[in-house]
Every structure is written in structure tokens, then in C-alpha cells.
């Protein structure tokens, strides 16, 4: 009977897609909303795909406002609407998010086909070991929409290992996603997962913080743009420079006595 639900972020945790998602996203926003601009200090990391679309479309003036008052993207307050109405809308950005996502997925398919998607050190060994452990259910917790997540993982041969997931297509708010993944895992296994039985593995402060309300075990890995020191400031339960020492990461995830902090 499984006792651990292990949820992995994708980008810069499992893989490096070498900017494929970012290029496809910026092109989709330009094509659908007719706007483009500078990113400044805006980062895609730790955000959801619908949230990124809304942020950047508003930052670059697709809502007619010219962006946030301070020149930075607005934070997403709620999941954006879907579909495009023929009538005028009070949410011209949100009404076209679904259209933009669909276009993005098509562009991403082409980007991934041309890219050399890299599985990060230790990831294959760690995921394989967890999948073989009957105590664990292995899944995804990612800001990617589900179609995008599948496209990014297919070249690695890892996709079939992840039996459950929560995605940016479930909610634009990353903090909503752990509960979605838990619900799906419970439906799959018939087992209840609570607190430290739930493990979230990711490379950003958002990954560390998103499961705080559920009291999860947070495992941070500094394989993205955030350093070990920056991630340490978020006080994860376990912190690794990378996953190359996968047996130690495995022990930490499974709560074994020889795990190091």
C-alpha cells in the first residue's frame, strides 16, 4: 500500500528544454494578442502557463491599460476565463487565454521537435527507483498545462512513470495545484495522503511554498535559476544542489533514517 505521494515539477527540476517553452509562449502571446515587449525582471519560473499569459499580455497592454502601474505584470488573482466572446468584454485578456494556450501548444510541439530536451543529472535514476518502490505514488505538480507537460516529457521516456498530476490547465494559481494532485492520487489508490506523506520536489521558492497549507514535505533542488542559498531561505525540508546523488534524495523523499537535510 503506498504511503508517499511524490510530486515533481518539470522545468529545471526534471528536464532542461533549453527555452522551448518560453519561445513558444512569447510567440503565442504576440500572435493572439498582437503585443510583445521586454521581460525585464519577469521570470516564468514557478508560475503557471495561464498566469504567464495573463501577466505578460497585461504588462504589454493587451487589456488597454499599458500594464501595471509600476511597470511590472499584475499578479493573477483568479483563474482566467476561457473562450472568446463576440461581445465586448470586461476581461479582454482572460477571454482569450484558452485560445492562446491552444496556439502555444502547437508552437511548443514544433519547438520540442527541434530541441534537445535534457534529462537532468540523477533524475532518471531517482524517478525509476521511486516508481519501483510500492510505498510511493509518483506524479507531477507543474505550472505547465497538461498538453505542454506531456510534450516536454515525451522525448525523455519518463512520461509513463507519472500516474497522477496537477497542471496549469487545472488552475492559474499554483497554490491550488497540490490539493488537485492529492485528490487525484486518492481517487487512483483509495488511500488518503496528508501532511508529510505528500512530497513536492521543485527548483523554485514557489515549489517550496505552494504546499505549505497542506503541511507537505518540500524538497528543493537548485538546478534552476535559484541558488542553494536562495532556496535555503525558503526553509525546505530537504535541499540539494542537484539530484546527481539520487540515493540520498531518494532516502529524503521516502523519509528513511539515513536521509540528510
Same domain for 103 and 174, yes or no, is no
Confidence of residue 261 (pLDDT cuts 50, 70, 90): very low
Same domain for 131 and 8, yes or no, is yes
Same domain for 211 and 176, yes or no, is yes
> What's the whole-number mean pLDDT along residues 22-51?
95
**Does some domain include residue 187?**
yes
Say how many CA atoms lie within 13 Å of 133 toward its Cβ. 22
Same domain for 43 and 69, yes or no, is yes
Question: How does pLDDT run across 148-159, given as a tens digit for each residue?
Answer: 999 999 999 999
CA distance 220 to 203: 6
Same domain for 51 and 140, yes or no, is no
Among 83, 114, 145, the domain-final residue is: 114
**Distance in angstroms between the alpha carbons of the first and the last residue of the chain:** 26
Same domain for 121 and 80, yes or no, is no
Among 98, 114, 130, the domain-final residue is: 114
Higher pLDDT, 201 or 256: 201
CA distance 146 to 164: 11
pLDDT of residue 90: 84
Same domain for 211 and 224, yes or no, is yes
> What's the whole-number mean pLDDT along residues 224-242?
98
**Does some domain include residue 259?**
no
Among 99, 114, 129, the domain-final residue is: 114
Same domain for 44 and 79, yes or no, is yes
CATH code, 232 = 3.40.50.1000
**Does some domain include residue 39?**
yes
CA distance 261 to 252: 8
Angle between the N-to-C axes of helices 20-33 and 49-59, in degrees from 0 to 180, rounded to the nearest 10: 50
Q: Lowest mean pLDDT: which of 22-26, 48-52, 126-130, 257-261?
A: 257-261
| DSSP-derived secondary structure for 206-254 | HHHHHTGGGTPEEEEE--SSS-HHHHHTT--SEEES-SSSHHHHHHHHH
Task: Find all residues with CB under 8 Å of 256, minimum gap 6, and list them.
Answer: 250
Same domain for 121 and 250, yes or no, is yes
Same domain for 75 and 187, yes or no, is no
Q: Would you call 145 helix, strand, or coil by DSSP?
A: coil
**Contact status, residue 48 vs residue 56, Cβ threshold 8 Å:** no
**Does some domain include residue 57?**
yes
Same domain for 178 and 220, yes or no, is yes
pLDDT of residue 1: 81
State how many domains the chain has.
2
What's the mean pLDDT when you consider all of the chain? 91
The strand pair at 217-221 and 238-240 is best described as parallel
Same domain for 30 and 96, yes or no, is yes
pLDDT of residue 253: 98
Listed residue (141, 154, 59, 46) closest to 108, CA to CA: 154
> What's the whole-number mean pLDDT along residues 52-77?
69
Confidence of residue 66 (pLDDT cuts 50, 70, 90): low
**Does some domain include residue 146?**
yes
> What's the whole-number mean pLDDT along residues 122-150?
98
Question: How does pLDDT run across 156-201, given as a tens digit for each residue?
Answer: 999 999 999 999 999 999 999 999 999 999 999 999 999 999 999 9
Structural domain that includes position 61: 20-114
> What's the whole-number mean pLDDT along residues 208-232?
97
**Does some domain include residue 261?**
no
With a cut of 90, say whether residue 69 has pLDDT above it: no
**Does some domain include residue 213?**
yes
Amino acid at each position: 500500500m503506498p504511503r508517499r505521494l511524490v510530486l515533481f515539477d518539470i522545468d529545471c527540476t526534471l528536464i532542461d528544454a533549453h527555452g522551448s517553452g518560453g519561445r513558444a509562449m512569447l510567440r503565442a502571446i504576440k500572435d493572439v494578442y498582437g503585443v510583445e515587449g521586454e521581460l525585464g525582471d519577469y521570470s516564468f519560473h514557478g508560475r503557471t502557463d495561464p498566469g504567464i499569459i495573463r501577466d505578460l499580455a497585461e504588462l504589454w497592454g493587451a487589456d488597454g491599460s499599458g500594464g501595471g502601474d509600476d511597470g511590472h505584470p499584475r499578479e493573477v488573482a483568479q483563474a482566467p476565463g476561457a473562450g472568446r466572446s463576440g461581445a465586448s468584454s470586461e476581461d479582454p485578456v482572460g477571454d482569450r487565454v484558452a485560445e492562446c494556450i491552444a496556439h502555444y501548444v502547437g508552437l511548443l510541439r514544433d519547438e520540442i521537435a527541434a530541441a534537445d530536451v535534457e534529462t537532468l543529472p540523477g533524475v532518471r535514476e531517482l524517478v525509476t527507483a521511486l516508481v519501483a518502490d510500492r510505498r510511493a505514488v509518483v506524479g507531477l505538480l507543474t505550472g505547465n498545462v497538461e498538453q505542454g507537460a506531456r510534450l516536454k516529457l515525451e522525448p525523455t521516456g519518463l512520461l509513463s512513470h507519472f500516474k497522477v498530476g496537477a497542471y496549469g490547465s487545472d488552475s492559474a494559481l499554483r497554490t491550488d495545484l497540490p490539493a488537485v494532485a492529492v485528490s487525484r492520487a486518492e481517487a487512483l489508490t483509495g488511500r488518503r495522503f496528508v501532511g508529510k506523506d505528500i512530497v513536492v520536489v521543485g527548483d523554485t521558492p514557489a515549489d517550496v511554498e505552494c504546499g505549505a497549507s497542506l503541511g507537505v514535505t518540500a524538497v528543493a533542488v537548485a538546478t534552476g535559476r535559484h541558488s542553494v542559498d536562495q532556496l535555503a531561505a525558503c526553509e525546505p525540508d530537504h535541499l540539494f544542489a542537484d539530484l546527481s546523488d539520487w540515493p540520498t534524495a531518494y532516502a529524503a523523499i521516502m523519509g528513511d533514517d539515513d536521509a540528510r537535510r
